[in-house]
A and B are shown apart, each in its own frame.
Chain A
C-alpha cells in the first residue's frame, strides 16, 4: 500500500488515488502522509544527488513538501500528473536555495560536520571520511561531468523515479527531448565509467550531438 524507502516506483506512485488527492487538499492527515510516503523518499534522493549534503537535502525535502501541500488546491490534474507537477516545484525551490546560497556565502561550519560525521562512523580520520562523502562514489563523480541538462534528466528519472513524460512535464520539455537527453547522458556516463558492451570495439562513439562529449572522445583516443 505505502511504499517503503528506496523501492522502485510502480506506475501509480505509492498507490495514490484521486481520492487521496482530494483528501490531501483538505489536509486530511492520513492522505497527506500518503503523499509524503509516495514522494518524500524520491525528493530526498533527488536533492541529495543535487546538493550532496544530507542536512540541506532533508530540510529542502521538508520545505518543498510544505509548498506542495500548500499548492495542492491549485493542482487540477489527475493523480498521474502529480509527479511532474511536484518535481517542478522541487526544481524551482532547489534553484531558489542555490541562488540564496550563492548570494550569501555563509562560512560553512565544515569542522563541525567533520567531527560529527567522524564520530558517527567511528572513523579515525574525519577528513578522509568527509572527502569520501563529498566526492561520493565514482558514479556520482561521473554524474557531475555531464551537462546540467543531462544530469537533471537522469536524476529526475533515476533518483525521483519519474517517467519520461513526467520529466518532460517537470522541465517543460517535450518527451522526445527528454528521451534524447537521457540517451546521451547515459551514453556519456557509460563512457566515463568505462562500461562497454563485450562485442563493442569501444572506440565507436555513440550517436550524440552533445558538444561536451567531443572533448572526452579526444581523451579516450589518447588512451
Chain B
C-alpha cells in the first residue's frame, strides 16, 4: 500500500524531470526546484572549443582493431579509411605534440586529414549556433579556408581536386553571405558583422584572381576551365551582399581603392559607400591584379549576388534567409547547407 504510493510518486517525479506531463504536487515542488538548481549549475560547465580538435583527432587516430572484415562492407571503404587512419597517425607523429591539433588545419582535399578538418569545422559551427554573428564569423573563416585550399591546389597543380574545390568555395561563400544577412536581421548594425563583410569581400576578390590565374595556367585540364567558367566569380569578384542595416557600418567592400574590377560592379540603389578609404589589409600590391577590366558592365547583373535592398533589412528572418541564396545560387540555399558530402 504505502510502497505503491511511494512508487507512484517516484514515477511522477521521474516524468516531470524528463519534461513529461504530470501533476506538480506540494511534496514534489521542492524536489523539482532542487533539480532545476542543479541542472542550471551544471549547464555552466562547457568544454573549451580548443580541446575539441584534439579529442576528435585522438579518436580518429587509433587504427581500427575490432572492426568487421573489410569485405563485408562496401567496396574498399574500410581499407581506405584504415589507410587514412594510418596516415593520420603518421602525420601526428611528425608534428610536435602541441601542434597536433593543428595537423588537420593544413590538410587539402584528397588528403588523409581533410575529413577531420571538415568535421572540426562542423563541430565549431554547431558550437556557435547560439550567436548569429559568431556563426557568420565562423562561416567566413570556412570560406577563407576553402580559398586557401584552392590557392594551394593551384600552386601544387593538383587539378583533379580543383573543380570540387571551386564549387566548395562558392558554396562556403554563399553560406557565409546568407549567415551575414541573417545575423544582420537579428542583431542590426554590428561592427563585428561589418568586419565579416569586409573579410568576405577580400575572399571574393582573391577568389576571382585565383580563378583567372587558374585559367591562364599552362596545360590546364578542361574540367578545371569549365569549373572556373561555372563559378559566379569567374568574370569579376562576386562581392558580398551588404545588408542595408550594415551599410552605414561597412566602410568599404573592396580591398584596394586602386583596383579596377571594383568599378565594374553596378551601382546599387542603396547608399553603398564608394571605395575611397584604404582598408588595413592591402597586402597585395595593386600591380599583381590580373587584367580583369575586360569584363563588360553589361554582364554584371547576372554575376553579382547583390540583392535589391527591398528584400533586405529587418524584414524578419524568413525573408532574410531566402533572399541571398536565391540571388546567389540555386543549390546552396540555407545556412545549414554546407555540410560536406
Chain A positions near chain B (C-beta within 8 angstroms): 1-6, 8, 25-30, 32-33, 36-37, 40-41, 44-45, 48-49, 57-58, 61-63, 65-66, 69-71, 73-74, 136-137, 139-140, 143, 154-155, 157-159, 163-164, 176, 179-180, 182-183, 186-187, 189-191, 193, 195-197, 199-200, 206-207
Specify which chain A residues have a CB less than 8 angstroms from the CB of B58 in the assembled complex. 62-63, 65-66
B37 is an interface residue with CB less than 8 A from chain A: yes
Docked complex Cα distance between A40 and B51 (Å): 11
Specify which chain A residues have a CB less than 8 angstroms from the CB of B77 in the assembled complex. 26
| In the complex, residue of chain B having the shortest beta-carbon distance to the beta carbon of A154 | B38
B27 and A206 form a contact (CB under 8 A): yes
A179 and B14 form a contact (CB under 8 A): yes
Of residues 322 through 336 on chain B, the ones whose CB sits less than 8 Å from some CB of chain A are 336
What's the nearest-Cβ distance from chain B to residue A117, in Å? 14
Given contacts A25-B67, A49-B42, A182-B10, 16 further A-B contacts (CB under 8 A): A2-B122, A4-B129, A5-B47, A6-B43, A29-B56, A62-B54, A65-B58, A66-B58, A73-B64, A74-B66, A164-B18, A179-B7, A190-B33, A195-B30, A195-B33, A199-B26
B91 is an interface residue with CB less than 8 A from chain A: no
A4 and B47 form a contact (CB under 8 A): no
Docked complex Cα distance between A158 and B41 (Å): 10
B126 and A37 form a contact (CB under 8 A): yes
A70 and B62 form a contact (CB under 8 A): yes
B17 is an interface residue with CB less than 8 A from chain A: yes
Docked complex Cα distance between A3 and B115 (Å): 20
What's the nearest-Cβ distance from chain A to residue B130, in Å? 6
B119 and A183 form a contact (CB under 8 A): no
| In the complex, residue of chain A having the shortest beta-carbon distance to the beta carbon of B129 | A4
A140 and B34 form a contact (CB under 8 A): no
A5, A28, A62, A197: the one contacting B26 at CB < 8 Å is A197
Specify which chain A residues have a CB less than 8 angstroms from the CB of B46 in the assembled complex. 5-6, 41, 44
Assess A33 versus B122: contact at CB under 8 Å? Given A27-B85, A62-B58, A73-B67: yes
B116 and A29 form a contact (CB under 8 A): yes
Docked complex Cα distance between A207 and B52 (Å): 44
A sample of 7 cross-chain residue pairs with beta-carbon separation below 8 angstroms, ordered by A number, consists of A29-B56, A30-B115, A36-B55, A61-B51, A143-B38, A159-B45, A179-B7
> What per-residue 1/0 map shows which CB atoms of B1-40 lie under 8 Å from chain A?
0000011011101100111000000110111111101110
Docked complex Cα distance between A6 and B35 (Å): 15
What's the nearest-Cβ distance from chain A to residue B24, in Å? 10
What's the nearest-Cβ distance from chain B to residue A66, in Å? 5
A137, A159, A190: the one contacting B34 at CB < 8 Å is A190
Docked complex Cα distance between A81 and B59 (Å): 21
Considering the complex of A and B, which 5 residue pairs feature the smallest CB-CB distances, nearest first? A33-B119, A2-B126, A190-B30, A29-B115, A190-B34
B56 and A36 form a contact (CB under 8 A): yes
Assess A200 versus B27: contact at CB under 8 Å? Given A48-B45, A70-B65: yes
A158 and B39 form a contact (CB under 8 A): yes
B302 is an interface residue with CB less than 8 A from chain A: no
What's the nearest-Cβ distance from chain B to residue A130, in Å? 17
